């Protein structure tokens, strides 16, 4: 029985740009895509040197505040992370006043199965100069634990995974918060080797019970960084390696909703599809139905069952969301004739999409990752004259404030306590 209103899911659709770990390619989605035809077009490439310079200026210019603000680090450890710069040499934990000030926020509701999250300053190699900070991440997790039982990471660089796990431990959330361990893959063998080695080190160090699964690559096929066969082989190699370590976790990849094929679905324990109705140019009122139909017709159809024998879902929407400001989109290849046509980025439209999608997804058991936790100011480097939404997808601003006017559904008081 269909959970959402029916809509023809053939609208033109584009994915979302992202964060670069290497300075060469963005780490999340690429923002230009014709989802209905499968034709690929890269939006544009930021030169690695220029990108690193600009990125360093942006993150280096972030000004710290009090309590909830996400500060840039003032120092780093030998491994490219800072552990104590924001607390006079000490680490925040569940008893810290800075953490307590963020807890029991009545505006937050634990209704998202997962949330896409990248810690501040977790881009390689910029993090070697301005690293992520443990206290910042601990405060982030204190907020996110009020929204979701799981966070999805995109890469292993800059000690981000270890610092998220440390935050979960410091807060005493080991039984209530899981991590989807992300591995960034591209067409650079050095990057891939580094990311995979870091993944194995993490999995050798931490108990598998702290993870919901492993996501190897994001939109690798869209960027044409690998062939489908090469990506499938990577998944098989990782799975065999985990089996040899007696680690029983699902191994998957995520890509655009219409880049999935039956053969890739056979190689991936979970079909993880990035589905953004905003880039189809649909209004938020019909976006929940569009998302459901698109996902069902392009991705769910590729698997024979909704759950594996191990209990994890065979299908997950790995990115979906709506920007809070920055313009409007009428679908790839279509030019909006006015500022109110198509999908409009606004707080109210975020509310409308969430109102139609979040609680209904909870009711019918749809597993998805909301894109994303916090605004990312550095992404303004991707803005164009008309499209200024790249940095505005967060439920919260960059200082952890719920955006003014944003209403996170409470779903009648129901909550999600497990990632699936």
pLDDT for 34 beyond 80: no
Q: What is the pLDDT of residue 304?
A: 83
Q: What is the pLDDT of residue 305?
A: 84
Find out whether 291 and 322 touch, Cβ atoms under 8 Å: no
Q: What is the pLDDT of residues 332-369, one digit of tens each?
A: 788 999 999 999 999 999 999 999 999 999 999 999 99
Q: Point out the residues that are catalytic.
A: 219, 319
> For all residues of the chain together, what is the average pLDDT?
85
pLDDT for 2 beyond 60: no
Q: What is the pLDDT of residue 93?
A: 99
pLDDT for 317 beyond 80: yes
Q: Which of 129, 190, 192 is nearest to 158 (CA)?
A: 129
Q: Give mean pLDDT, residues 369-389.
A: 94
Q: What is the pLDDT of residue 398?
A: 95
Q: Give mean pLDDT, residues 384-410.
A: 97
Find out whether 86 and 133 touch, Cβ atoms under 8 Å: yes
Is the Cα torsion angle 325, 53, 115, 313 positive or negative in sign? positive
Q: Give mean pLDDT, residues 128-151.
A: 98
Q: Which domains does the chain have, with CATH numbers?
A: 48-413 (3.20.20.80)
**Separation between Cα atoms, residue 39 and residue 35, nearest integer Å:** 7
Place of tokens 């960084």: 225
% of the chain residues with pLDDT over 70: 79
pTM for this entry: 0.85
Q: What is the pLDDT of residue 191?
A: 97
Residues in CB range of 11: below 8 A, 6 or more apart:
35, 36, 277, 280, 281, 282, 290, 294, 331
């Amino acid at each position: 029985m269909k959970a959402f209103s029916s809509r023809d899911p053939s609208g033109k659709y584009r994915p979302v740009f992202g964060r670069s770990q290497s300075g060469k390619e963005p780490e999340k989605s690429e923002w230009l895509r014709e989802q209905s035809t499968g034709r690929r077009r890269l939006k544009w490439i930021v030169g690695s040197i220029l990108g690193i310079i600009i990125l360093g200026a942006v993150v280096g210019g972030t000004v710290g505040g009090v309590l909830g603000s996400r500060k840039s680090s003032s120092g780093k450890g030998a491994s490219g992370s800072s552990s104590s710069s924001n607390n006079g040499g000490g680490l925040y934990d569940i008893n810290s006043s800075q953490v307590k000030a963020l807890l029991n926020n009545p505006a937050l509701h634990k209704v998202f199965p997962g949330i896409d999250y990248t810690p501040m300053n977790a881009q390689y190699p910029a993090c070697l100069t301005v690293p992520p900070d443990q206290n910042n991440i601990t405060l982030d997790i204190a907020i996110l634990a009020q929204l979701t039982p799981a966070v999805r990471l995109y890469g292993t660089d800059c000690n981000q995974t270890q610092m998220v796990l440390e935050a979960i431990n410091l807060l005493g959330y080991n039984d209530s918060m899981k991590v989807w361990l992300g591995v960034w893959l591209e067409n650079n063998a050095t990057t891939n080797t580094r990311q995979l080695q870091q993944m194995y080190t993490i999995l050798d160090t931490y108990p598998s019970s702290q993870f919901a699964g492993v996501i190897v690559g994001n939109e690798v096929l869209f960027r044409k960084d690998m062939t489908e066969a090469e990506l499938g082989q990577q998944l098989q190699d990782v799975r065999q390696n985990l089996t040899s370590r007696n680690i029983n976790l699902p191994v998957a990849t995520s890509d655009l909703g219409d880049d999935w094929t039956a053969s890739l679905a056979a190689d991936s324990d979970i079909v993880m599809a990035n589905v953004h109705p905003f880039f189809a140019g649909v209004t938020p009122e019909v976006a929940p139905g569009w998302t459901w139909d698109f996902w069902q017709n392009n991705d769910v159809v590729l698997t024979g069952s909704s759950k594996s024998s191990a209990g994890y879902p065979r299908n997950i929407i790995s990115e979906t969301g709506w920007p809070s400001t920055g313009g409007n989109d009428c679908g790839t290849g279509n030019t909006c004739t006015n500022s109110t046509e198509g999908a409009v980025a606004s707080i109210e439209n975020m509310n409308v999409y969430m109102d139609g999608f979040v609680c209904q997804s909870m009711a019918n058991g749809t597993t998805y990752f909301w894109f994303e936790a916090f605004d990312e100011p550095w992404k303004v480097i991707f803005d164009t004259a008309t499209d200024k939404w790249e940095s505005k997808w967060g439920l919260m601003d960059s200082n952890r404030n719920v955006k003014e006017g944003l209403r996170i559904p409470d779903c009648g008081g129901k909550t999600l306590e497990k990632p699936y």
